[in-house]
Chains A and B, each alone.
Chain A
């Protein structure tokens, strides 16, 4: 059983600070990693993907991957109240395929003005 673990939160961060969201996964053969953002009452939307060890930056967002530790994180710099949402980590096992994509249960992030 492939597992993707996230702290459910809520994680409360003051406006302008860095929000750090973490995710661990059990399948060592996993190849692709995704972060989805889901606003309350809305559907998830992809905000970051990362495939190799290290950091990947896109605007205020940085995804970090450490395959040896089976750990992926999302950093949000200069946090804004509009970043308040649930963030879902999704991990794709080797070989791809829809049944290989496992979602974590999400971390609820609250940015305090």
Chain B
């Protein structure tokens, strides 16, 4: 069965901390994505990757970076967490290189920055 696993369901961090959100997929998918979801704002794309060591900015990349050293793993990094980064973070993957069809989502990480 298809699986996208996010390392933490809930995280609480302090302002200024460096935060790592990890995502692993076991489907050999080429594409991986990081979204954040906020009430009233919907799903917004932060970064995505079509291949190992490749990354592209989405709609709201400011304050974030990503790393994809292995095909199955895509990490989201908050270099210096701020309160406006409190949100639900969703990782997703899809199969075809350069083409987004069905997205498989992880269960999400609810991040609170105090």
Contacts and interface: CB of A to CB of B under 8 A. Distances in A.
Interface of A: 32, 34, 36, 42-46, 49, 88, 92, 96-101, 103-106
Given A43-B90, A88-B42, A101 B102 contact: no
7 contacts: A42-B107, A44-B43, A44-B105, A98-B45, A99-B48, A101-B100, A101-B103
A104 to B, nearest CB: 6
A99 B56 contact: yes
Rank and list the top 9 A-B pairs by shortest CB-CB distance, nearest first.
A43-B105, A105-B42, A98-B48, A103-B43, A96-B99, A46-B102, A98-B100, A101-B100, A43-B108
Contacts of A101: 45, 100, 103
Please indicate which of the listed interface residues B33, B58, B94, B101 has the most CB atoms of chain A within 10 Å of its own CB: B101
Given A43-B107, A43-B108, A96 B42 contact: no
B43 A97 contact: no
A65 to B, nearest CB: 16
Question: Chain B interface residue count: which class?
Answer: 20 to 34
Nearest to A98: B48
Contact of B103 (A42, A46, A100): A46
A98 B56 contact: yes
A49 B102 contact: yes
Q: Which of B33, B41, B43, B45 has the most CB of A within 10 A?
A: B43
B105 A45 contact: yes
B63 interface: no
A113 to B, nearest CB: 26
A30 to B, nearest CB: 13
Nearest to B4: A43
Contacts of B16: none
Contacts of B105: 43-45
B102 A97 contact: no
